[in-house]
Structure 1
Amino acid sequence: MSRRTSTLATAGILVAALIAVAFLLPVPYVTMRPGPTVDALGTYDDKPVLQVEGAKTYPTDGEIRLTTVSVTRADSRVSLPQAVIAYLDPAEAVVPRDLVYPEGQTAEQVREENAAQMASSQLTSEAAALTAAGYDVTEVVTVTAVAEDGPSEGRLEAGDHLLSVNGTPVTGTDQAVELVSGSKPGSVVELGIRRDGKERTVEVTSQTSPDDSSKARIGVSLGTDLELPFTIKNNLGDSIGGPSAGLVFAVALYDKLTPGELLDGATVAGTGSISASGEVGPIGGVQQKLAGASEAGATVFLVPSGNCAEAAAADDFGMRLVKVATFDDAVDALEKLSDDPKAQVPTCS
């Protein structure tokens, strides 16, 4: 074998080896593909997804399916061939890994964050649905954390509802902070609270605020919670994470709590976060959720207005893409489509 032939052969082997290594080494991306769908008016693990206790419910007809995205697990890696195949599949997507699993966050921390978002989404969806159905939903100030070795340790607990400060009813977090900080540092602050459904009065000796010596502090963090007039159980638990099922939960709950069948036998799917006041927010993975909804037999898909451009650019699989900015938009469109499947409603096309 000549030197030239030997050199070319060696180079070829090296190139082949490098290509093989490139194909075997993971790339810094994850894949997103259609995940399972769940009918929020149906059952999950032999239990109703939404279980209402203490209020009258009405028969429903049809399905309203929440849609999900299946993402590469945090402990798995995507190879170059897998990334290329997913990129070429119109129902899948390839995104930078750190967008899904931020640097420094463990898989367990990501799971816990998604579970917390789902819990929050469930509560705001319930508030939006109940308000639209004519029920009163009350916003309350809550203790979210108590500082260790602070003046409230052993006196207050996370989850306590703060009702009053020195006899003044509490109407919001900013007002509560002002009432406490306006007290004389070192004085006793009388707090009206509700814990485990029972009201009580707690006295806390304040401290001087480290930011302003003229103001008092009691060593707690405050947030807001929502009080519903009856109990609603969401039996999905933490099997699905994130906030994007909020709109679908709200539609399903509203259908249960109001007379008439909102869906009239249709299979509807959707996605979108929702606030307690009914604003619908954009989410990720629309392309994959449309594909999953189509596989589940949906003919209508509720799309947050902020995702309409993305949805319109993707394959709609023959579904009607209904544009919604608020919960009222969703209900109005579904009522019209129930009366006439060809009715004119806002769409993403």
Structure 2
Amino acid sequence: MKRRGVTVLAGFVLAVLLVAGISLARVPYVVMSAGPTVNTLTAVDADGDECTVGAKGCQEVIQIAKTSTSDSDGQLRLVTVNVQSRTGLLDVIKGWFSDEQAVVPYEFVYPPDRTKDQVEQQNQEDFKESQTSAETAALRKLGYPVRVSVGEVTAGGASDGKLKKGDVIESVDGTKIESPSQLVELIKAKPVGTVLKFQVTRDGKAEAVEVATKPASATDQTPRINIEVATVQPHPFDLSIKLDDIGGPSAGLMFALGIMDKLTPEDLTGGKIIAGTGTIDDAGNVGPIGGVPQKLYGAKKAGAKVFLTPADNCAEAKANALDGLPLIKVATLDDALNALATLRAGGQPPTC
């Protein structure tokens, strides 16, 4: 081989090795892109792919038993973000030039004081909590309020032999009890030794119970009834959410809407594909989330006609808006329900 040919070949090999080295070299960034979207009104298999109810390994995302449920002609899709945590320089460069991706420092997603496994575990816990809050908010809207109950009774305390674990506290001295904090304030409002009249539901039956308060301690005269307080939300059906491999709290709003769609005769979607995101608390307040630009792309690819956007994310969403995907502004579950009703009527709900 001639000297020139050897030189060209060597240069080519070096170039390949250089590119390979750049590709394999790890950099302290993660690349975020649109993740899977899931219709909360349908069923998924073990891999999270949508499937037909009755097929092997296929289960509904929102499972409701012991009551009738309704079907929908549309979809209520939650959206996710995919995080590529192992990245090379080429991945990052590609992400920088992509409208659909975002490049952020590794520690932005995985703080240095926590391991990757710890972060992912927290995301799973947040996801489960979002499901619980979605259930609470939806059931409250459907007429099943949160109620205060007795968790544990302290042996030898004021309530020992009077209140029982599982009692639902309906009222104290004629005042309806709607929250644990309200119960505490009613107890503290009267002197130690005051006899309080409790109306409770015990094993499905109404009971009247009298409890004389005791001091917190020998040196603390704060009135106490010596119970642990819990909350319950009685409803005459079974409800659960089954969806794995998704983390974070941002699916709360769409889960709440999915529950309400199944438990009410009206099709909330109006036959449309509705996408959205947002945390939700027990009172139905919708909170902001991360990854809005990527979630918009995921919604658009899924065929969504509108995107339910947390009010606090509106500025970011508008800056990354996509043609043909209106951004519907929502701050509460009621806002979302009103917006969907307006859409079904052919109107235009408030936008970002």
After TM superposition, the structure 1 = structure 2 runs for residues 216-255 of structure 1, keeping only pairs within 5 Å, are 226-236=233-243, 238-255=244-261
**Secondary structure at 2:36's aligned position in 1?**
coil
How big is the shift at 1:276?
2.1
Task: Note closer, same or farther for the CA distance 1:136–1:218 as it changes in structure 2 (3 Å cut).
Answer: same
Residue aligned with 1:86, SS: helix
1:92 maps onto 2:98 in alignment: no
Deviation at 1:57, TM superposition (A): 1.9
Pair 196,30 (structure 1): closer, same or farther in 2 beyond 3 Å: farther
Asked whether 1:136 is paired with 2:136, we answer no
Q: Aligned-pair distance for 1:130? A: 2.6
> C-alpha deviations, 1:211-256, integer Å up to 9, x for none?
x7667999998675644443211111x4212111111111122112
Aligned to 1:41: 41
**SS class of match (1:71):** strand
Superimposed CA distance per residue, residues 292-338 of structure 1 (whole angstroms, 9 cap, x where no aligned partner): 11111111111111111111110424212111111121111212212
| Alignment: residue pair count | 314
Q: Give the TM-score normalised by the residue count of structure 2.
A: 0.70
Q: How far did residue 54 of structure 1 move?
A: 2.8
Q: Percent identity, aligned pairs only?
A: 41
For the residues of structure 1 that align with 2:233 and 2:204, how far apart are their CA atoms?
14
Determine if contact 1:160/1:193 at 8 Å carries over to the other structure: no
Counterpart code for 1:312? K
Give the CA deviation at 1:175: 5.9
| From 338, 342, 346, the counterpart of 1:332 | 338
Unaligned runs of 5+ in 1: 1-12, 146-150, 152-158, 185-191
Within the alignment, does 1:56 sit opposite 2:68 as a pair? yes
Whole-angstrom distance in 1 between the partners of 2:322 and 2:278 = 17
Return the letter of the residue paired with 2:95: A
Q: 1:208 to 1:280 in 2, by over 3 A?
A: closer
How big is the shift at 1:108? 3.1
What are the within-5 Å matches in structure 2 for residues 17-166 of structure 1?
24-27=25-28, 29-45=29-45, 46-72=58-84, 76-132=85-141, 135-140=142-147
Deviations along 1:39-92, one digit per CA (max 9) or x if unpaired, are 0011112111111123332231111100001113xxx53333322221221111
Supply the AA of the counterpart residue of 1:344.
Q
How far has the Cα of 1:278 moved from its partner?
A: 1.7
Change (3 A) 1:179 1:34: same
Q: Which residue of 2 aligns with 1:345?
A: 349
Go from structure 1 to structure 2 and tell me whether the alpha carbon gap of 1:21 and 1:234 turns closer, same or farther (over 3 Å shift): closer
> Aligned partners of 1:123 and 1:196: how far apart in 2?
24
Q: Give, as a single letter, the amino acid of the residue that structure 2 aligns with 1:263.
A: T
Equivalent position amino acid for 2:106 in 1: R
Q: Aligned pair in 2 of structure 1 residues 22, 38: CA closer, same or farther (>3 Å)?
A: closer
Give, in whole Å, the separation in 2 of the partners of 1:47 and 1:99.
Answer: 35
Of 171-180 and 108-117, the range deviating more from structure 2: 171-180
Q: 1:22 to 1:53 in 2, by over 3 A?
A: closer
Q: Does the residue aligned with 1:78 lie in a helix, a strand or coil?
A: coil
* CA positional deviation for 1:258: 1.6
Partner Cα separation in structure 2 for residue 131 and residue 81 of structure 1: 50
Find the aligned partners of 2:292 and 2:178 in 1 and give their Cα distance.
Answer: 38
